[in-house]
Copies of this chain bind each other. A is one copy, B any other.
Amino acid sequence: MARLSAAEAVFNVLRAEIESGKLSVGAKLNSEATLAQQYGVSRSVIREALRSCTALGLTVTRTGRGTFVVANRVAKDLVLGQYSARDLTEARPHIEVPAAGLAAERRSAEELATLRDIVAAMSGEDDPEVWVGLDSSFHALIARASRNKVFENVVADIRDALAHQSETLNMVADRQHASDEEHRRILAAIEAGDAATARIAMSQHLHAVGIALDSILNA
């Protein structure tokens, strides 16, 4: 590990205190002069550390008043809507297929029960908007059951992006019932702990969804 400068060390401490909640949102930090005394460094060092916190969006500093905590964690840029339909169709299989395989091996009993509930609810659901929400939950929960945070986050982002695209709702009318059957096959494989079959079922499902989307986009 690289030797840290004093400014980096102070920044790390401040960041840890903010992210751990020890300094809650809205709290006012001690003055720069006080912090300098507390940490036994000069005010320049404190200012550079505070500037780092501000750059990450954790704090804001107001002239003459002080520095205040405004967030407990670094804000994630919202990238929703920046994905094109092609981006999503192209990327999804590479992420959701392996995730389904891992889910078959790692899912908990609770996750399995929830997946069953979701699939059951979708069968009887006619409201497209509700159905899309359930579908979203189905895919998101499989990703979570993969026990891999990367897959979990990416799938969540993809589903969010899809939910914001107008094509999605148009597609539902045609695909709703066909998807139900595909979902049941995916669920069965995950239930059986059969990773290979889960991957195949998810792959076929996404392929069908991609074709449906294509036909709408090119209509």
- Which residues of A pack against B, CB within 8 Å? 1-2, 5, 7, 11, 19, 44, 47-49, 51-56, 63, 73-80, 82-84, 86-88, 90-91, 94-95, 97-98, 102, 129, 148-151, 153-154, 157-158, 166, 169
Indicate if the CB atoms of A77 and B82 lie closer than 8 Å.
Answer: no
Q: Chain A contact residues: over half helix, strand or loop, or mixed?
A: helix
Alpha-carbon separation in the docked complex, A167 to B153 (Å): 22
Q: CA separation between A54 and B8, bound complex, in Å?
A: 10
Chain B: which residue is nearest A94 at the CB level? B98
With A148-B87, A150-B154: A55-B94 Cβ-Cβ less than 8 Å: no
Q: Are A79 and B7 in contact (CB under 8 A)?
A: no
Asked if residues A77 and B75 are in contact (CB atoms below 8 Å), the reply is yes
Given contacts A1-B166, A77-B73, A77-B74, is CB(A148)–CB(B51) below 8 Å? Answer: no
Chain B residues within an 8 Å CB radius of A169: 1-2
CB atoms of A87 and B48 under 8 A apart: no
Contact of A44 among B5, B44, B95 (CB under 8 A): B44
Contact B77 A149 (CB under 8 A): no
A149 touches B80 (CB 8 A): no
| Chain B residue with Cβ nearest A15 | B55
Report B-chain residues with C-beta under 8 Å of the C-beta of A158: 150
Is there an interface contact between B91 and A150, defined as CB atoms closer than 8 Å?
Answer: yes
B contact residues around A94 at 8 Å (CB)? 94-95, 97-98
A29 to chain B, nearest CB (A): 16
Find chain B residues with CB under 8 A from A74 CB.
76-77, 79-80
Q: How far is the CB of A150 from chain B (nearest CB, A)?
A: 4
| Closest CB in chain B relative to A216 CB, distance in Å | 14
A80 contact set on B, CB distance < 8 A: 19, 73-74
Q: What's the nearest-Cβ distance from chain B to residue A199, in Å? A: 11
Option from B48, B55, B102, B148 in Cβ contact (under 8 Å) with A11: B55
Given contacts A79-B149, A91-B95, 18 further A-B contacts (CB under 8 A): A11-B55, A44-B44, A47-B48, A48-B51, A76-B76, A79-B153, A83-B150, A87-B149, A90-B102, A91-B98, A91-B148, A94-B94, A94-B95, A94-B98, A95-B150, A95-B154, A153-B157, A154-B154
